[in-house]
């Protein structure tokens, strides 16, 4: 029976190729979009990390709203081996690795690992060995691990690489192992590893990983860390606070909580698009079932069981689902390619464990295809199994079908409502991106002429910050002497693109507020920062040669910071405390005020800002993130080689990398918003097209069913206006009800999408009103063809219509 029903369903589809192709295309588009979003969920959230006992491996650090951050190395040394809830702990950090092949150093992305990380992550070298506890000692010989790709590219896959000495960061090191390309930790672009050698008192910020002891849960580990912090707090002097620590699954380090939230929201929106596709196909199948009512009634009259009738309809749905899955996979692949080009090209380390379209994605796709086609065919199948024999057999069953029409109209209302919800989501992001691009940002007026670059200095050759400062001073002076350069600067921030840091600030003697200290944006800069980026000084003076490590500490704040702390008062010569509550807290004097400046990514919400002299910042925190910026007289992209020459002219062992124009830095900073805008806009567009098609289909079907009625009304003298009102009345109630429900659902949806860090706003009239007008306009356009068909009904033909 099953095979026969599928054969009959296949033959029915071949007799109606237009219906079959349209159904497969609609379902395929919806399924392709949903599979693409599920693929991202699978890569980022569902798949376990490729480490032994991955579910037991956790990240340990300071809690943040987005998950977890690094921790002080001294805390790690105190905790290591003393927590009963963890049976193994390790740490890692980022490292700049400059390999010198004789023609100047080349920078590679590196990492530092403790020896325990090798065991914790279960990595087995392709060649040689991993790190051992002896390698962690501060005075141990320098050793290096290479990634397989780097070994093949830079060392021609030399099988005798183990034991070879190479010049790394200006010092000789021995290659002790090659790790397989499958080991992409801590990021997807890591190419080499060195031992992480920690000593008490260094206070380096490192990432810590641990494996939970058997039968220990996350809450138990957190409770033990809280107890440890409480004991530490009792040993500290008044005014100092022990940092609170927590644990999260290690996967949170690769996929922070906000990324997970947005992935689930996108997946939910994709599920709505899939539901819209199901509704459209259900409408198509309702029409097909209505046309087959005579056949179904005969089968029922001749003894056909209800189960056979239902199964026959569902068999057709399953075949459509198989075709939809075949259409969906190329769409999924195309969407994934767009994502890689847009996002991964600028963030290669964001999702290092990508699986693509794997078995889980295929199984999910098959399950959704079966479920969606069953859902789409369920209502028609149910109605097909309960034919009204008298109605269906009378005159072939044509000209009726009111029950089918009512179901179709209800589904169109649902389509309109869901489309409004998705369009509000799309409009929210389009509005945010448009607002962001329309606002000129301070310090970006010469973005195309400013070239920025990061600089990797060999840590063994630059052991103190005084050496680093002398290096940057020398390079900046070399660059400023170039006739093609307007000005050059050394800093750890690029306005509207790359933030130096957020740091706690207070007024002298101020107790810590209940909601925490003021935490403005902070940049470490040299005296040439303003002229390089074109920022105006409003009051006082800027940082200059007087501001050395030995002089009184000073700071320059922006207008927003001045308005926050001293509204309607003069901010000059006021005092601030940096890092309050810490042993290294420092009181500084405000010497200047500049115009309000966005130091952080242009997408992040605006905060007060302050700038600290490069020479003085070194007395409070290590200078590890300082880079260079050059404002040229032409396009910045062509100046990259000259910047590298200037760096190598001061020290051949230093290397530049990530050399981009400020304009590209800003584009990379907003790529997350661009991706979200693209995804939600695409979903909204597909939803709008599906809703328009559904509305068109239902109205066309209604006009066809009412042909006889319209002909009679035309014959007794009804004019065009009366016919238009009759058809428009049906459109109006469907559209009105759909819009009402849709905007009611859009209110909580816009609340979910509201995020000050992305500039998205809830209940924005500039989103809701255009969506209302767009849906009305598209719906009216979709109704135009059925309306014209109704006006062209010939009464003589209509009276003979069956």
Instruction: Note the pLDDT of residue 524.
Output: 92
Instruction: Note the pLDDT of residue 752.
Output: 93
**Whole-prediction pTM:** 0.84
Burial label, 525 (beta-carbon count in 10 A; 0-12, 13-18, 19+): buried
Residue 492 DSSP SS3: coil
Q: Tell me if 60 sits within 8 A of 362, measured CB to CB.
A: no
Residues shown for the chain: 802
Q: Which of 606, 450, 456 is nearest to 528 (CA)?
A: 450
Q: Which of 494, 639, 651, 744 is nearest to 105 (CA)?
A: 651
Q: Tell me if 209 sits within 8 A of 120, measured CB to CB.
A: yes
Instruction: Note the pLDDT of residue 382.
Output: 60
Instruction: Note the pLDDT of residue 743.
Output: 96
Q: Tell me if 55 sits within 8 A of 212, measured CB to CB.
A: no
Instruction: Note the pLDDT of residue 374.
Output: 76
Q: Which of 276, 278, 281 is nearest to 697 (CA)?
A: 281
Residue spans of the chain under pLDDT 50: 389, 392-393, 395-400
Instruction: Note the pLDDT of residue 789.
Output: 72
Q: What is the 3-state secondary structure (H, E, C) of 348-388?
A: CCCCCCCCCCCHHHHHHHHHHHHHHHHHHHHHHHHHHCCCC
Cα gap 147→191, rounded to integer Å:
5
Q: C-alpha dihedral over 536, 538, 543, 547, to 10 degrees?
A: 180
Instruction: Note the pLDDT of residue 265.
Output: 95
Instruction: Note the pLDDT of residue 559.
Output: 95
Instruction: Note the pLDDT of residue 398.
Output: 47
The single-letter DSSP state of residue 760 is: B
- pLDDT, tens digit, 9 for 90 and up, residues 337-394: 888 777 765 555 555 556 678 888 999 998 898 888 777 766 665 655 555 545 544 5
Q: Which two tokens stand for residue 611?
A: 């700038």
Q: Which two tokens stand for residue 631?
A: 């404002």
| Kind plus residue range of the DSSP H or E element containing 506 | strand 505-506
Q: Tell me if 628 sits within 8 A of 453, measured CB to CB.
A: yes
Q: Tell me if 365 sits within 8 A of 325, measured CB to CB.
A: yes
Q: Tell me if 612 sits within 8 A of 765, measured CB to CB.
A: no
Cα gap 714→710, rounded to integer Å:
6
Instruction: Note the pLDDT of residue 473.
Output: 94
Instruction: Note the pLDDT of residue 395.
Output: 47
Q: Tell me if 39 sits within 8 A of 356, measured CB to CB.
A: yes
Q: Within 10 A of 685 (CB to CB), how many other CB atoms are there?
A: 14
Instruction: Note the pLDDT of residue 793.
Output: 63
């Amino acid at each position: 029976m099953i095979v026969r029903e599928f054969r009959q369903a296949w033959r029915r589809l071949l007799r109606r190729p237009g219906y079959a192709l349209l159904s497969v295309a609609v379902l395929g588009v919806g399924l392709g979009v949903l599979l693409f979003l599920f693929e991202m969920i699978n890569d980022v959230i569902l798949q376990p990390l490729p480490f032994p006992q991955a579910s037991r491996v956790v990240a340990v650090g300071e809690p943040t709203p987005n998950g977890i951050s690094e921790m002080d190395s001294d805390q790690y040394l105190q905790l290591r081996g003393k927590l009963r809830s963890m049976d193994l702990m390790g740490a890692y950090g980022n490292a700049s690795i400059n390999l010198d092949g004789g023609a100047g150093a080349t920078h590679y992305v590196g990492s530092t690992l403790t020896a325990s990380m090798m065991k914790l992550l279960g990595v087995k070298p392709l060649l040689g060995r991993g790190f051992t506890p002896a390698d962690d000692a501060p005075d141990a010989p320098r050793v290096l691990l290479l990634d397989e790709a780097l070994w093949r590219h830079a060392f021609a896959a030399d099988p005798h690489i183990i034991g070879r000495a190479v010049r790394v960061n200006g010092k000789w090191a021995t290659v002790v192992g090659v790790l397989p390309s499958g080991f992409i930790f801590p990021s997807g672009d890591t190419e080499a590893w060195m031992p992480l050698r920690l000593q008490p008192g260094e206070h380096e910020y490192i990432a810590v990983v641990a494996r939970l002891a058997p039968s220990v849960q996350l809450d138990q580990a957190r409770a033990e860390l809280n107890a440890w912090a409480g004991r530490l707090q009792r040993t500290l002097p008044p005014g100092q606070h022990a940092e609170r620590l927590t644990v999260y699954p290690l996967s949170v380090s690769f996929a922070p909580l906000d990324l997970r939230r947005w992935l689930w929201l996108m997946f939910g929106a994709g599920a709505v698009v899939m539901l819209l596709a199901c509704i459209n196909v259900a409408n198509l199948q309702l029409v097909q079932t209505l046309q087959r009512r005579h056949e179904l009634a005969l089968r029922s009259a001749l003894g056909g069981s209800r189960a056979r009738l239902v199964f026959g309809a569902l068999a057709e749905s399953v075949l459509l689902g198989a075709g939809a899955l075949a259409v969906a996979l190329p769409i999924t692949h195309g969407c994934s390619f767009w994502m890689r080009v847009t996002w991964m090209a600028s963030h290669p380390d964001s999702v290092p464990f990508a699986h693509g379209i794997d078995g889980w994605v295929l199984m999910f796709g098959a399950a959704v295809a079966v479920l969606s086609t069953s859902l789409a065919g369920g209502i028609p199948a149910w109605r097909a199994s309960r034919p009204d024999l008298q109605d269906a057999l009378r005159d072939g069953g044509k000209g009726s079908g009111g029950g089918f029409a009512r179901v179709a109209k209800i589904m169109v209302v649902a389509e309109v409502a869901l489309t409004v919800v998705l369009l509000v989501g799309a409009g929210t992001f389009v509005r945010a991106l448009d607002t962001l691009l329309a606002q000129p940002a301070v310090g970006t007026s010469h973005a195309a002429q400013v070239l920025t670059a990061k600089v990797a200095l060999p840590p063994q050759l630059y052991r103190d910050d005084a050496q680093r400062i002398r290096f940057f001073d020398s390079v900046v002076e070399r660059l400023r002497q170039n006739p093609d350069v307007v000005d050059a600067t050394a800093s750890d921030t690029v306005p509207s693109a790359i933030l130096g840091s957020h740091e706690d600030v207070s007024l002298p003697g101020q107790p810590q507020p209940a909601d925490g200290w003021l935490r403005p944006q902070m940049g470490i800069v040299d005296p040439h920062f303003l002229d390089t980026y074109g920022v105006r000084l409003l009051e006082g003076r800027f940082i200059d040669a007087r501001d050395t490590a030995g002089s009184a500490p000073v700071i320059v704040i922006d207008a927003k910071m001045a308005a926050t702390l001293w509204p309607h008062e003069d901010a000059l010569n006021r005092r601030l405390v940096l890092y309050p509550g810490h042993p290294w807290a420092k009181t500084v004097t405000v010497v200047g005020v500049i115009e309000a400046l966005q130091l952080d990514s242009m997408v992040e919400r605006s905060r007060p800002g302050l700038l600290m002299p490069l020479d003085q910042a070194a007395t409070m925190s290590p200078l590890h993130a300082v880079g260079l910026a050059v404002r040229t007289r032409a396009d910045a992209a062509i100046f990259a080689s000259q910047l590298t020459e200037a760096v190598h002219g001061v020290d051949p062992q230093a290397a530049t990398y990530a050399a981009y124009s400020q304009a590209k830095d800003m584009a990379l900073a907003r790529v997350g918003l661009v991706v979200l805008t693209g995804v939600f806009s695409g979903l909204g567009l597909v939803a709008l097209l599906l809703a328009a098609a559904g509305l068109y289909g239902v109205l066309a079907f209604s006009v066809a069913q009412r042909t006889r009625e319209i002909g009679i009304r035309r014959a007794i003298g009804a004019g065009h206006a009366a016919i238009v009102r009759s058809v428009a009345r049906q459109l109006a109630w469907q559209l009105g009800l759909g819009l009402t429900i849709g905007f009611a659902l859009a209110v909580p949806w816009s609340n979910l999408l509201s995020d000050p860090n992305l500039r998205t706003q809830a209940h924005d009239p500039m989103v809701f009103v255009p969506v209302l007008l767009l849906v009305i306009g598209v719906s009216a356009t979709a109704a135009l063809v059925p309306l014209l068909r109704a006006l062209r009904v010939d009464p003589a033909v209509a009276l003979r219509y069956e």
